[in-house]
Amino acid sequence: MPNGLPVVLQLEDVPCLVLGTNAEAESKAEMLERAGAAVTRLDSYHPGCLKGFTLAIAALDHRYLNPVIFREAAQLNVLLNCVDDPPHCRFILASVFERGRLQVAVSTGGACPALAVRLREKLEQELGPEYAAFLEIARNLRDEIASRVPDFNRRRALWYDLVDSPALQLLAENKPEQALQELKLRIRRASQEAAHAPGH
């Protein structure tokens, strides 16, 4: 089976179904709710219960129902995940952690979820809260950057310059004002270079 396509689903107000009463079902329902989905929970499966949903997660204790649920999901075009049963999944949930707006997901395509968890834990230790702070600053600077550096290639180069700047280290040292000054300096320099480029 080929590797799947990693995506980030925008699930705000999207009708989603979680089947099951165990801890896994509880965890998956909470995850969907954090993403803004409109979550419905059912203790058990019954024919036709997937109708009207865009996405469903089956976390039932009795896996013999998974092929039945999978067939119904296929007929209704419902994206389905049967927990710990890759052959009956249309999507697989990665091992995820968040730092503010930063989401890091690790997947083994269902081959060994435990390895995905261990890799996620390693990354979680390496990526501190400064990344969340950096993204908040970057989000607030996007409009200014787009206005001052309208050329796409120059703007892309500027973004890499900002990411590679000392700003992240300054944020890790709890120096947000200095980090912002460093970023603003680089934006101003890029803007001046763009203004003096041939054709301007």
Do 153 and 178 fall into the same domain?
A: yes
Structure tokens at 79: 């994206």
Q: Which domain holds residue 139?
A: 130-192
Q: Is residue 179 situated within a structural domain? A: yes
Say how far apart CA 120 and CA 105 lie, in whole Å.
7
Q: What is the pLDDT of residues 95-137, one digit of tens each?
A: 889 999 999 999 988 889 899 999 999 999 999 999 999 999 9
Q: What is the pLDDT of residue 1?
A: 63
Share of the chain above pLDDT 70, in %: 98
Phi, psi of 126 (to 5 degrees): -80, -30
Question: Residue type at 148?
Answer: R
With beta carbons less than 8 A apart as the criterion, state whether 73 and 56 touch: yes
Which of 72, 92, 112 finishes a domain?
Answer: 92
Say how far apart CA 97 and CA 139 lie, in whole Å.
20
Q: What is the pLDDT of residues 168-178, one digit of tens each?
A: 999 999 999 99
Closest CA to 9 of 100, 111, 103: 103
Q: What is the pLDDT of residue 200?
A: 59
Q: Based on the structure, what is the number of domains in the chain?
A: 3
Local confidence band at 199 (pLDDT 50, 70, 90 cut-offs): low
Do 17 and 84 fall into the same domain?
A: yes
pTM above 0.95, yes or no: no
Which of 110, 127, 144 finishes a domain?
Answer: 127
pLDDT, the chain, mean: 94
